Amino acid sequence: MEKHNHDHQKHHHHEHGSETKKSHSSGHQTNNKSDHQHGHHDHHAMMIEDFKKRFWISLVLTVPILALSHMIQQLLGFELTFFGDQYVLFGLSTIVFFYGGWPFLKGLWDELKDKNPGMMTLIAVAITVAYVYSSAVVFGLEGMDFFWELVTLIVIMLLGHWIEMKSVMGASRALELLVQMMPSEAHLVQGDQIKDIKVDELKTEDIILIKANEKIPADGTVVEGESHLDESMLTGESKPVKKSKGDQVIGGSVNGSQSIKVKVSKTGKESYLNKVITLVEEAQKAKSKTQNLANVAARWLTFIAIGAGTITLVAWIILGKPLDFALERMVTVMVISCPHALGLAIPLVVAISTAVSASKGLLIRNRTAFENARKITAMVFDKTGTLTEGKFGVSRYESLTDDIDKEELLAFAASLEQQSEHPIAQGIVKVAKEAGLTLKKVENFESLTAKGIQGKIDGQNWKVVSPGYLKENNINIPEQAGSDAAETIVFVLLEEKLIGFIALSDQIREESPKAIETLREKGMKLYMATGDNEKTAKAVSDKLGLDGYYGEVLPHQKVEIIKKLQKEGHFVAMTGDGVNDAPALAQANVGIAVGSGTDVAAETADIILVNSNPKDIANLVLFGRATYNKMIQNLAWATGYNAIALPLATGFIPGLVISPAIGAVFMSLSTVIVAINAQLLKRKMIS
């Protein structure tokens, strides 16, 4: 369980590459997908606007409909009649039915096509039955119309859907953002000339120039120059990786402070980033279309409504009652089966939990996944930037001489290092400045290629060097500088005498141990999967006491790890922040992105931790449970009224036939109770 065999990894990577080639047909196609994704996002915003517009127009028309309904007049004790009032009522209700009810009628068609009846089916069946029957009453059938029921149901359901869609963020833009990670232009080298061309026009064997701090536009090999590349968002390796002639570079990684020339080896569909795009796409397609709670309840209520309605009709006809009586009872049963409160029961809880969660730094993008947070049994963490800071920090520093204390040693080292662009140098300078140390003037600064740096401070010769320099010059490495942790150690020399050392590593976030402990108390298995090296992975895993770790893993292997745990019966959450985590975030039952990472990871995830704080992951599980309980309570209220009202509506219980007016009072009460109960969630979450 602990880690992958390295040879197996290579073999696996090769296999994956060949599969990907087969499944992809053109690099251009990806951009089309991106456009499609973008279109989908705009479509979501348009749908929210559409629901809002339909809600307000339907609400305005509902006022005269209620005023013209005889039952509402009886209930409120007033009378409003004029010649043709029933036809005006019919006309206004027809507009609300077709205009306000359209999303539900269309939804019915979509759900039936998918053989997956849910909320839309339930609403559409209820409003259609009410409309057809009430229209028949206007044109001669004996009975009482249900227009007021029809329009209030449509208005409340439109409100519920609008609230819900507004509170849950739009469709995933992961693929679009992945494509954006590639720069749009490349500097093509043609003899002595440099020409800017579109990345799409690059061909293999082209030589391109990458300037300092630019993104690499394609996979390739360095042919000239050397630089440190930041690949952390792609591979998860926390240290910037030194690249010189002959080394491979990955498109999408960021160049350091030196310019390099690269020979293009893979473009478009063959590139590493595009393979990641394919993985994300496959995982998103395969992610189960789990129905959320309200839809499951609605599906059962649909079956109950149709079943109970049919039985009521047939039974009264068999018992010899006239058709109009049997029809009225059937319609009453079917309309009552669709609780108005259900339309608000869940959306209100979702809107409140989403708002409260956001104020606590949790952005919920996928409601079903949030509801399912309570089921998590295994959590896989990315290391860099999730459990750790993702930055090179000084972990310890020691002076080996009595003449200079450790703070002075750090000040001298930082004085030298402020001349350097190297990530190690930046880490040392940062900690010295934070400690308020005064940096000194350096003369004759010189970089010792691949060994370190040197310079004169106050007329004395100082060096900050690698362990390799000590070995070459037969200087013994002191015992204190030995470490089994994944530290990088540099040594400080004064006039060729070793006087101290500074150790740097990717620091574990201070909140990580407590978060791990809280999740373990919830009975979860905790693993770490990282692109970082084996030694670093083991050090972090041991320090945090995880159940297992995987080092040096590639994006498709992270997906395999998630799948393996899912096959073992685990409900898996993945937490990560980089492009290399995106496919695994999509594959996991619950994908959690930490906000300090890339947009790509955030857009692939179901939930985003804005503050990148691991303790928020523990809060998320508790939030998920509280929200789920509140939803269950609301469903019980919403459907409980129906459970009592439905048998009474059939008319089978002698002397206990519910009048539509009493039904209306109960229905309103049920909706109010659900709304108040949803508000109580705020108190629960803030505490």
Known catalytic residues are 382
For strands 378-381 and 572-576, give the pairing.
parallel
Sheet order of strands, 388-399 included: 388-399, 497-508, 488-494, 460-465, 452-457, 443-448
Written as one letter, the residue type at 214 is E
Tokens of 578: 């980089």
Question: Which among 545, 628, 569, 600 has a CA at the least distance from the CA of 367?
Answer: 628
CA 157 to each of CA 37, 55, 107, 666: distance values in angstroms, whole numbers, following the listed order: 28, 9, 13, 17
Element (H, E) at 324: helix 323-336
Q: Residue 337's beta-bridge partner residues? A: none
Distance of CA 401 to the CA centre of its chain: 52
Handedness of CA 633, 635, 641, 645 (dihedral sign): negative
- Residue 673 neighbours by CB under 8 Å, 6+ apart: 341, 637
Q: Please tell me the distance from the alpha carbon of residue 336 to that of residue 646, in angstroms, as a whole number.
A: 6
Q: Please tell me the distance from the alpha carbon of residue 552 to that of residue 531, in angstroms, as a whole number.
A: 4
The dihedral over CA atoms of 286, 291, 292, 295, expressed in degrees to the nearest 10, equals 160
Tokens of 65: 């409909």
Listing DSSP states for 489-527 in one string gives EEEEEETTEEEEEEEEEEEEPTTHHHHHHHHHHTT-EEE
For strands 219-224 and 248-249, give the pairing.
antiparallel
Q: How many helices and strands (H and E) does the chain possess?
A: 24, 21
Helical ranges in 506-614 per DSSP H: 512-521, 534-544, 555-567, 582-587, 599-604
Helical ranges in 181-266 per DSSP H: 232-235
Q: Please tell me the distance from the alpha carbon of residue 56 to that of residue 44, in angstroms, as a whole number.
A: 19
- Residue 636 neighbours by CB under 8 Å, 6+ apart: none
What is the residue whose two structure tokens read 């002595």?
Answer: 192
Element (H, E) at 346: helix 340-359
Q: Are 256 and 230 in contact (CB under 8 A)?
A: yes
Q: Please tell me the distance from the alpha carbon of residue 229 to that of residue 284, in angstroms, as a whole number.
A: 30
Q: Are 316 and 303 in contact (CB under 8 A)?
A: no
Element (H, E) at 198: strand 193-198
Listing DSSP states for 7-72 in one string gives HHHHHHHHHHHHHHHHH---HHHHHHHHHHHHHHHHHHHHHHHHHHHHHHHHHHHHHHHHHH-HHH
Neighbours of 403 (CB within 10 A): 8
- Residue 260 neighbours by CB under 8 Å, 6+ apart: 209, 210, 222, 224, 225, 226, 227, 243, 249
State the helix-helix crossing angle for 615-650 and 512-521, rounded to 10 degrees.
40
Handedness of CA 219, 224, 230, 236 (dihedral sign): positive
Categorise residue 146: left if φ over 0, alpha if ψ from -120 to 50, beta otherwise: alpha
